Amino acid sequence: MVQRLVREGQSVSIVTVCTADRPLETLAPLSAAAQHVHWEWQLGEQPYAHRRAEDARACAALGATCIHLGLLDAVYRHAPDGQPLYERDFIGIPVNPADWQHHALQTSARLWAVLAPHQHDLRVYGPLAVGRHVDHSIVRQVLEVLVPREALAYYEDYPYADQPAALAQETQSGFVPETVALTEAEIEMRVQTIARYPSQLFALFQQAETMPARVRNYIERAGGERYWRQIA
């Protein structure tokens, strides 16, 4: 979809919210959740420079502008007393109340700085938050405040959306799907773009070599790229 919009002459920005390095001046011991993702990513103790570079390369390949908002990933966020907000789990659980008080407000301010100059012609695609990754859940709720309903569509968070029950949980009431059929070249570009995030492949697919077939199977079942709009 991104590449198609770019080919049509439209300007597309891909905004990634959680892109900050782990702050050295407050280097608390890593939570179990952070230790686990560091092991999956295999990028050392400060992985985000590499992750930002992956994102920049993927956006460049699509012809989109890459915007990093510089906030901390859930696994690095702490309460005022220094305790991790998410010691072990950050997917499939409610957002910690402290995140609504602090991280959500920061997310709102930084997203609005990006959106405000375009408020008269907004077209925003945000996460449906399938699987309930806390960072996705926060971004979804922030966008629902900042963006008029008619200007906001939701993309299916893949690979979480490959679980029918998780997808149904987010769309069972007040949502309608919009499916965009993809050409073979567009499907191949989607596969190639995912492959530009090698640090994520093990965490998302366990076996990187299975990614192309899984992505293609998912697209075939969905009938293309499927987006959702809220109507009630």
Residue range 63-72, pLDDT digits in tens: 999 999 999 9
Instruction: List own/partner pairs for 146-151 with CB under 8 A and 24 or more apart.
Output: 146/108, 146/111, 146/112, 146/115, 147/115, 147/122, 148/122, 149/229, 149/230, 151/122, 151/123, 151/124
* Amino acid occupying residue 80: P
Alpha-carbon distances of 181 from 131, 145, 173, 192, 227, rounded to whole Å: 24, 30, 24, 18, 11
Q: From 120, 109, 12, 116, select the one nearest 66 (Cα to Cα).
A: 12
Write the class of the CATH domain 2-230: alpha beta
**What's the pLDDT tens digit per position in 101-142?**
999 999 999 999 999 999 888 999 999 999 999 999 999 999
Largest CA distance in the chain: 52
Strand ranges (DSSP E) for the chain? Answer: 13-18, 65-71, 124-127, 152-155, 175-180, 225-230
Give the span between the Cα atoms of 232 and 17, in whole angstroms: 27
Q: Which of 73-82, 125-134, 142-151, 177-186 has the lowest mean pLDDT?
A: 73-82
Q: What is the structure's pLDDT at 221?
A: 95
pLDDT (average), residues 140-161: 96
Q: Which residue has the tokens 């906030």?
A: 71
Q: For 159, how many CA atoms within 13 A lie in the half-sphere containing its CB?
A: 17
Question: How many residues in total does the chain contain?
Answer: 232
Strand ranges (DSSP E) for 51-202? Answer: 65-71, 124-127, 152-155, 175-180
